[in-house]
Amino acid sequence: MPAQYDIVIVGAGIMGVASAYHLKKNNPGIKVLVVERYGAAGQGNTGRSNAMFRNTFSSSDNQILSNSSIDFYTHVQEELKVDIGLQKIGYEWLMNEKQLSRSEPFLEGMEKNGVEITRHGKDDLRRLLPSMVTEFGSSSEAALMELPSVDGGVFGPKCGRLDPDKLVRFYAGEFIKAGGEFAFNTEARALVVGPSKRLGIEGEPLVWQDFKVEGVSARGAIDGIIRAETIVLAGGAWENELLEPIGIECHAKSKKRQLFSIQAEGRKLEGLLRSDGFNPQGLLPLVILPKSGVHFKPVSEENAFWVACEDEVNRPFIDLPEHDLDRYTAERKYYERSVYPILVSYFPEFKDSRVKAMWAGLYSYNTIDNLPFVFREKNLIVVGGDSGSGIMKGDSLGRVVNSLYREEGETTLYGGIPYRTSKLSFERRDVEREEWVI
């Protein structure tokens, strides 16, 4: 392997491989290397995610970034005939009157921007989800948990699920076919900063010298300094580890998030899994309950539901996460005490259901506005801040990275959508805070 590349990308999660694909596709002559600490692409948080996608966001930027990525993923599956496990099963957000009226301005914004949504009234929901409890009457348990009634729902038909491993394999495979290289089991231990013009003076770069990132100091399958004209940092939850030592802030902090797989045992749960009327697959959509963001999706091939919960408060931020994601374990008690009581109150068929598997990963929150960032500092491009929805925007972010590399002010997203490249930077950031987070 040459020690000099045009571009070195750190990280082979969705952000790294989508960036690698677009950089190599649009600049075919360049030498691009992706370095990855793990033994394969997509083994970080991408592989641990729920891999749902939606275009139903309050922020118009998130709408555009995800909508265009969903269109590209649909193109990959339907026109390029590459199976990425994409199924538009929809999202159904269940709400009480108060939540519905609070959401109305966001819903109107989505409609104005062409995001497809269907409002479901109580009668629709009774027909679609006949077993669901919508009122709790005098239940003392429901009163204790302050469970909102279900007065309506919002359905997003362009939302759904995909297989993140298959998606990563698509990008990585195309990148390799185009001549790109991976170095797995290779850790970038530091970004190496040096003067733009080396003068041979001790302590370079001195304060009056222009500087750049010369490369990465690597350990593993490649040992030593890998030099490159441009460095792309796509390190997910671990970006602070490389940025903080060189004094660059990316406003991201990580938090553990958990997923619980529940076996759909018995007629009632199987019936719920295969709820008709929402999508062509005859499956339940992702259902978001009106309390604590508890949500669950059908995984028909495993005859299971994956259940999760929005746990924003009283959960610690992690500034510099462990490298081994297995150190972050899912907590059975958390499911039993926090998630299950809510789930079973709305859908009694979950009573006595079994957790057959559970795991955890990290969200990397952009603590300013819950939107991703893509910015450039000299010859370093940084992409991240997924805030829990990076797979669904991965393609668009890869295109923005390519435009930053090419110094193009406007990015063309899939479908010919123009998008100002600087919008996701910090210096010239121009986005609204995302309010529809789960």
Closest CA to 280 of 139, 88, 91, 131: 88
Phi, psi (rounded to 5 degrees) for 382: -120, 130
Kindly state the smallest distance separating residue 186's Cβ from ligand FAD, in Å.
6
Residue 283 and residue 286: Cα distance in Å, rounded?
Answer: 9
Binders in 172-191 for ligand FAD, by CB under 6 A = 187-188
Provide, rounded to whole angstroms, the least separation between the CB of residue 391 and ligand FAD. 3
Q: How many residues bind ligand FAD (CB under 6 A)?
A: 40
321 lies in the site for ligand FAD, by CB under 6 A? no
* Binder of ligand FAD out of 59, 275, 389, 411 (CB under 6 A): 389
Task: Supply 58's token pair.
Answer: 């309050």
Binding mask 105-144 for ligand FAD (x = CB under 6 A): ----------------------------------------
Cβ-based nearer residue to ligand FAD, 152 or 385: 385
What is the closest distance, in whole angstroms, from the C-beta atom of residue 24 to ligand FAD in the complex?
Answer: 17
Candidates 22, 37, 120, 399; binder of ligand FAD (CB under 6 A) is: 37
* Shorter beta-carbon distance to ligand FAD: residue 100 or 289: 289
Note whether 384 and 235 are within 8 A (CB). yes
Site for ligand FAD in 347-366 (CB under 6 A): 361-363
Task: Please identify which residue in 90, 148, 152, 390 interacts with ligand FAD, judged by CB under 6 A.
Answer: 390
Interface with ligand FAD, residue 215, by CB under 6 A: no
Counting contacts by CB under 6 A, is residue 391 touching ligand FAD? yes
Q: How many CB atoms lie within 10 A of CB 317?
A: 11
Nearest to 165 by CA among 104, 237, 86, 235: 86
C-beta closer to ligand FAD: residue 156 or 384: 384
Minimum distance between the CB of residue 348 and ligand FAD, rounded to whole angstroms? 26
Q: Mark 228-257 with x for binding to ligand FAD (rule: CB under 6 A) and - for no binding.
A: ------xxxxx---x--------------x
CB of 188 to ligand FAD, least distance (A): 4
C-beta of 432: minimal distance to ligand FAD in Å? 19
Q: How many CA atoms, within 13 angstroms, populate the side-chain half-sphere of residue 81?
A: 0
Binding mask 42-71 for ligand FAD (x = CB under 6 A): -xxxx-xxxxx-------------------
Question: Distance (Å, rounded) from C-alpha 23 to C-alpha 386?
Answer: 20
The answer to whether 367 touches 279, Cβ cutoff 8 Å, is: no
Q: Which of 7, 8, 9, 14 binds ligand FAD (CB under 6 A)?
A: 14
To ligand FAD, the closest distance from the beta carbon of 388 in angstroms equals 5
What is the C-alpha to C-alpha distance for residues 141 and 129, in angstroms, rounded to an integer?
A: 22
Q: Shortest Cβ distance from residue 370 to ligand FAD (Å)?
A: 12
Given candidates 90, 205, 215, 388, which one binds ligand FAD under the rule CB under 6 A?
388
Q: Contact between 35 and ligand FAD (CB under 6 A)?
A: yes
Where along the sequence are the contacts to ligand FAD (CB under 6 A)?
10-16, 35-38, 43-46, 48-52, 187-188, 234-238, 242, 257, 259, 361-363, 384, 386, 388-392
